[in-house]
Amino acid sequence: MSTEIESLAVPLLKGSLPSAITDQPAVLLIYLLLLLIVGSALAGIVLRNLVFAIAAFSVTMAAVALLYLMVAPFLLFAVQLLVFTTVSAGLLLGLLRRTSGTAPAPDSPFSPELIAGVAVGTALLALVGVVVSATNWPVRISGGTNQGLGGSLANQYVVAVAVVVVMLASAALGTALLTSQRLARRFSR
Amino acid sequence: MKAGLSLMLVASAALLTIGALGLVVKRNVVVMLIGSQLMLTAAGLAFVAFARFGLGAANANNGAAVALFAGFAGAGGLAIGVAMAAVVYREHDTFLNDEYESVAD
């Protein structure tokens, strides 16, 4: 009986856990990113100025995205950076702007501040594009799996993706209803 | 020096603790929302760590997929939370939840 159990257990113990990353520049970068993540998260909680707190939170999310670039599929990095970081920061800053946390934008759609901001943003985007296209990212060195997540989502997780779509649509509808001034006036009567 | 599962899990635990601290201790609704997002991010980080360095590496896409869904759930929750905070701010002119106790009166 015992030999039978052992023979059943052997296949579970075959092979070994995936090896840790030992490439020193990649390890150093991971340590720095983790320190940045924890430090900026702490700053986001501790800072009293809400704009600075939201900025620190955005740094946390962006650093998590960079960490995903090293240890996770590329799609997760892209979604974390382009969707989760921007949506979270945008929603929180939008909340402040709708209330009293930040000053409203100037009335003129082409104010000098807006033009300067667009120019700086475009320059930063171009810089990021050049860096991304010219850099040999360590995800290829460290052996991260960067293939198949899209296929998994399209085949294995179809129901989950559909649920997420319904959930996000419900959240968008609920947000629009909650923040609608007309509905608020109707309920206040 | 190496980076493996333990390091990632320690960072995830630290992030989860900081988020819980912000959610429980702070009185500001915006900081509480940030705390809830940090906790969800920590959960996603743990899933990715197990998928990359742990037993989940047999099918590494599963961990990334769960992290993706957790992020989307967090984004939806944050949208609702922000809308609720805006509605309550409209009534009370503050983000400090101590001032909201008058709602029950």
CA quadruple A148, A151, A153, A159: dihedral sign: negative
Any domain includes A5? no
Neighbouring-strand partners of residue B60: none
Whether residue A138 is found in the same domain as residue A166:
no
For residue B96, the SS3 value is strand
Q: A80-103, pLDDT tens digit by residue?
A: 888 888 888 888 888 887 776 554
Whether residue A180 is found in the same domain as residue A136:
no
Whether residue A128 is found in the same domain as residue A163:
no
Nearest to A38 among B15, B76, B82 (CB): B15
**Domain locations in chain B?**
5-104
Q: Please provide the DSSP assignment of A10-64 as one string.
A: HHHHSS-PPPPB--HHHHHHHHHHHHHHHHHHHHHHH-SSHHHHHHHHHHHHHHH
**Cβ–Cβ below 8 Å for B15 and A167:** no
Which pLDDT tens digits describe chain A residue by residue (189 residues)?
Answer: 445 555 454 444 445 567 788 888 888 999 999 999 999 999 999 888 888 899 999 999 999 999 998 888 888 888 888 888 888 888 888 888 777 655 444 555 566 766 777 787 777 777 777 766 666 655 444 444 445 777 778 778 888 888 888 888 888 888 888 777 666 666 665
pLDDT of residue A164: 87
Within 10 A of B27 (CB to CB), how many other CB atoms are there?
Answer: 13
Calculate how close chain A gets to B13, using CA atoms only, in Å: 10
Whether residue A51 is found in the same domain as residue A131:
yes
**Cβ–Cβ below 8 Å for B37 and A57:** yes
**Cβ–Cβ below 8 Å for A42 and B75:** no
If you count DSSP H runs as helices and E runs as strands, how many of each does chain A have, helices first? 9, 0
Q: Which chain B residues contact residue A57 at CB under 8 A?
A: 34, 37-38
- Phi/psi at B28 (5° precision): -85, 130
Whether residue A126 is found in the same domain as residue A188:
no
State which residue of chain B sits closest to A90, comparing Cα positions: B79
Any domain includes A112? no
For this complex, say whether ipTM is above 0.90: no
B24 touches chain A (CB under 8 A): no
Q: Is the pTM of this model over 0.80?
A: no
Any domain includes A76? yes
For residue A136, give every residue at least 6 positions away whose Cβ sits within 8 Å of its Cβ, in sequence order, or none.
none
d(CA A181, CA B83): 12
Q: What angle do CA A82, A129, A79 make, to 5 degrees?
A: 15
Q: What is the CATH number of domain B5-104?
A: 1.10.287.3510
Residue A100 and residue A80 in contact, taking contact as beta carbons nearer than 8 Å: no
Whether residue A39 is found in the same domain as residue A75:
yes
Substitution target in A34, A49, A75, A96 with the highest count of B β-carbons within 10 Å is A34
- Looking at the structure of chain A, the number of domains it has is 2
Q: What is the mean pLDDT of residues B52-76?
A: 83
Domain range for A173 is 157-189
